[in-house]
Amino acid sequence: MAKKKPLILVSNDDGITSPGIKTLVEVMCELGEVVVVAPDSPQSGMGHAITVGNTLRLDPSTIFEGIDAYECSGTPADCVKLAKHHVLKDRTPDLVVSGINHGSNSSISVLYSGTMSAAIEAAIEGLPAIGFSLCDYSHQADFSHTAEFVKKIALQVLEHGLPPDIALNVNIPAKSDEKIKGIKICRQAHAKWQEVFDQRKDPYGRRYFWMAGNFVNEDKGEDTDEWALTNNYISVVPCAFDLTAHHALPVLNQWAL
């Protein structure tokens, strides 16, 4: 009797027409039955936003030939919720993958990332999940070197599963003449963005602001995602959605409350 193919849900935040999700779908089709539920337009930087008090639209898409695919008007988290409770309401995915994102989602960027929010929403639903990102923001980003690593990591999760309430944050260095050295299991670097708001005027003379800034990494550890990426390794960080600062509980319990 033939072994049943795993059911794999694919989503992202760059939108259903992005090159990154095309690569991810192609790789997942080698591993199992694929269903796609992705935003109908770019949703980068949406974090874990969900649509409340507004309509959500979900329409079939023919962008991936021979694959059950849907485009959603909502956020990445909305996409996973609709997939779990509507599109696949009678079935449980064996794996949820998000991406491949155009640009890094390492370090603090995980909090802002729509890509990772889709994966974390899946983890909230009790599903093994991975968010994949390529450290290349270019519209012409080359994803050709990512496939073997995406497949390798996905196969490990399908075979071994993940600890409860965990999603993997995988970042892949941009393609270069240097061969990727390997895969590192890492912690999230202690780093942040230092924003600068450029004040400008529109053609009508009205003031607006354009956010820019620089990424500052003060973490000198060699076990971080930033170190791995700088040294041409793929970083894999297990992420949890429990944001409790457990180390602070004893301190706060000493307050006179």
Query: Residue 168 sits in a domain of what CATH number?
Result: 3.40.1210.10
Structural domain includes residue 46: yes
> Per the annotation, does 202 bind a ligand?
no
Does residue 211 belong to any structural domain of this protein? no
Strands 166-173 and 68-72: unpaired
Which structural domain range is residue 78 located in? 7-189+221-252
94 is in an annotated binding site: no
Q: Number of folded domains in the chain?
A: 1
Query: Does residue 13 have a known ligand-binding role?
Result: yes
Averaged pLDDT of the chain? 95
185 pLDDT band (50/70/90 cuts)?
very high
Across the chain, the runs of DSSP E, i.e. the strands, are 7-11, 33-39, 58-61, 68-72, 95-102, 129-135, 166-173, 183-185, 191-201, 207-217, 234-240
Residue 2 located in a structural domain: no
The model's pTM: 0.94
Q: Is residue 195 part of a domain?
A: no
**Does 73 fall in a domain?**
yes
Q: Residue 212 domain-assigned?
A: no
- Please give the pLDDT value at position 2: 56
Confidence class for position 237, pLDDT limits 50, 70, 90: very high
Q: Is 185 among the domain residues?
A: yes
Please, what is the angle between helix 147-160 and helix 19-29, to 10°? Answer: 50
Say if residue 225 carries a ligand binding annotation: no
pLDDT at 1 over 70: no
